[in-house]
Amino acid sequence: MHACQRGQQRKYSEKYRKEAALNTSETVQTEVNANADISAAGANTDANTGPNTGANIDTNIDANTSVPSRLVIASRESRLAMWQAEHVRARLSLLYPQCSVEILGMTTRGDQILDRTLSKVGGKGLFVKELEVAMAEGRADLAVHSLKDVPMELPEGFALGAVLEREDPRDAFVSNDYASLDELPAGAVVGTSSLRRQALIAARHPHLVIKPLRGNLDTRLGKLDRGDYAAIILAAAGLKRLGMPQRIRAVLEPEHSLPAAGQGAMAIEVAARTDGVDLVALLAPLNHVPTAQAVTAERRVSKVFGGSCQVPLAAHATIVGSQMYLRAMVATPDGKRVASAEVHGPATDAAQLGDQVAEKLREQDAVAILASCLAEADGSGA
């Protein structure tokens, strides 16, 4: 990358960081206090419902837990990513005022490759690899991600240390000229970066033309405003976090557009350490137990089927009282073959519920559907 471009990126990164600080400072204290009550209530959550596999999350911080003097958060440099990193930085600073929390802005391959769909250039891992390298090299201590961008399998030595309370998990219909998908005329162009959204739209609105849409949130909105698309489909959470709910013309209810696994949730990834600092314990007050339970079930479904950007797969869980309701779907990109299933049970059995709904999908030939998707992806990428 040219030196001028790097300097410009640093300028944008600092601009986004300042905006994020302004947007999060007024709400963080309230969220920390509220989450403390939730964390205490879920202190006995087992590994089956927590975000990090293989270790229990104790949401009560031990008085002897070592707090480092400095923590560095690795983050992508988009405006939304910086908002998320600043949100975590502000919450950690309130929890541990003796610790200096900094943000290391980085550009990932996923940010650089904009002329091809993710399914053809490596999938979700493109957004996290560089951040993991920074942690492995000791340049960062943790990384903040949109959970739906995190691969189902993390590299050895890495784990999800906390999952924050979920924002709106639904998809959002964004258009300057139309109020909903139903209003779009035949042949109207709809932009989306997701095979899942493509399949769901194609199944219900076969008269529309669906085209790829890449770039960060501001880039995608800019393409819409230039007239490249009649409408675009985005995650409602990102628009709300950046203070742009007015851009949402309609939210797509899960009955019509089932969200991706982890959509609307933020996760904090950590790497194994040898200095005695227990990052999972330090992050425990940020971990939102109901969200962690829901995304554990959702990601389990995706993991069973090798979830990637090449697979149109949706999984969404809600919790009512102590019960979890989990729905999942797989489809071909053209929406002509669809399998869907729903299960419910104790929220503490999140992983088992994920396995159950996956089995129901198998009974509807989901494996064959996904195999055809992968074959098509391989053929188009040849």
Q: Give the per-residue pLDDT at 315.
A: 97
Q: Give the per-residue pLDDT at 42.
A: 38
Tokens of 300: 């389990």
Which range, of 30-44, 119-133, 171-185, averages the lowest pLDDT? 30-44
Q: What is the mean pLDDT of residues 230-249?
A: 97
Nearest to 365 by CA among 328, 345, 337: 337
Q: For the chain, which domains are there?
A: 3-165+265-287 (3.40.190.10), 171-252 (3.40.190.10), 297-381 (3.30.160.40)
Q: What is the mean pLDDT of residues 262-266?
A: 98
Q: Give the per-residue pLDDT at 308.
A: 64
Tell me, yes or no, if 149 is annotated catalytic: yes
Q: Give the per-residue pLDDT at 72.
A: 98
Q: What is the mean pLDDT of residues 335-364?
A: 97
Tokens of 194: 């997701």
Answer whether residue 64 shows pLDDT above 70: no
Q: Give the per-residue pLDDT at 108.
A: 67
Confidence grade of residue 214 (pLDDT, cut at 50, 70, 90): confident
- Pairing mode, strands 142-146 and 100-106: unpaired
**What percent of the chain has a predicted confidence (pLDDT) above 90?**
66
What gap in Å lies between CA 85 and CA 91, rounded to an integer? 10
Q: Which residues contact 171 (CB under 8 A, 6 or more apart)?
A: 197, 233, 234, 235, 236, 251, 252, 257, 259
- Pairing mode, strands 250-252 and 171-174: antiparallel
Q: To 5 degrees, how large is the angle CA 123–CA 259–CA 287?
A: 85
What gap in Å lies between CA 263 and CA 15, rounded to an integer? 26
How far CA 236 is from CA of 114, 137, 167, 172, 249, in Å, comes to: 21, 34, 8, 5, 11
Confidence grade of residue 129 (pLDDT, cut at 50, 70, 90): confident
Q: What is the mean pLDDT of residues 56-74?
A: 73
Q: Which of 149, 168, 171, 278 is catalytic?
A: 149
**What percent of the chain has a predicted confidence (pLDDT) above 70?**
76
Q: Give the per-residue pLDDT at 372.
A: 84
Nearest to 331 by CA among 296, 363, 369, 303: 369
Question: How many of the other CB atoms lie within 10 Å of CB of 180?
Answer: 12
Asked if 102 and 73 touch (Cβ cutoff 8 Å), the reply is yes
Q: Give the per-residue pLDDT at 115.
A: 45
Confidence grade of residue 362 (pLDDT, cut at 50, 70, 90): very high
CB hemisphere CA count around 110 (13 angstroms)? 24
Confidence grade of residue 121 (pLDDT, cut at 50, 70, 90): very low
Q: What is the mean pLDDT of residues 168-175?
A: 98
Q: Three-state DSSP class for 297?
A: helix
Tokens of 43: 């202190």
Which one of 23-37, 49-63, 301-315 scores highest in mean pLDDT?
A: 301-315
- Pairing mode, strands 209-212 and 189-192: parallel
Q: Three-state DSSP class for 155?
A: coil
Q: Which residues contact 244 (CB under 8 A, 6 or more apart)?
A: none
Q: Which residues contact 19 (CB under 8 A, 6 or more apart)?
A: 79, 82, 83
Backbone angles phi, psi at 265, to 5 degrees: -105, 145
Q: Give the per-residue pLDDT at 318.
A: 98
What gap in Å lies between CA 211 and CA 82, rounded to an integer? 28
Q: Three-state DSSP class for 215?
A: coil
Q: Give the per-residue pLDDT at 47.
A: 35
What gap in Å lies between CA 337 and CA 333, rounded to an integer? 9
Calculate the CA dihedral of residues 194, 200, 206, 212 and round it to 10 degrees: 0
Which range, of 63-72, 73-82, 352-361, averages the lowest pLDDT? 63-72
Q: Give the per-residue pLDDT at 65.
A: 76
Answer whether residue 131 shows pLDDT above 90: yes
Tokens of 64: 């002897």
Q: Give the per-residue pLDDT at 46.
A: 37
Average pLDDT taken over every residue of the chain: 83
Confidence grade of residue 311 (pLDDT, cut at 50, 70, 90): confident
More confident residue, 186 or 44: 186
pTM score, two decimals?
0.82
Q: Three-state DSSP class for 209?
A: strand
- Find the DSSP H helices in the chain: 3-41, 79-95, 109-112, 129-136, 195-204, 217-225, 236-241, 279-283, 289-304, 350-362, 366-381
DSSP 239-276: HHHTT-GGG-SEEE-TTTSPPPTTTT-EEEEEE--SSS
Answer whether residue 23 shows pLDDT above 60: no
Q: What is the mean pLDDT of residues 126-131?
A: 82
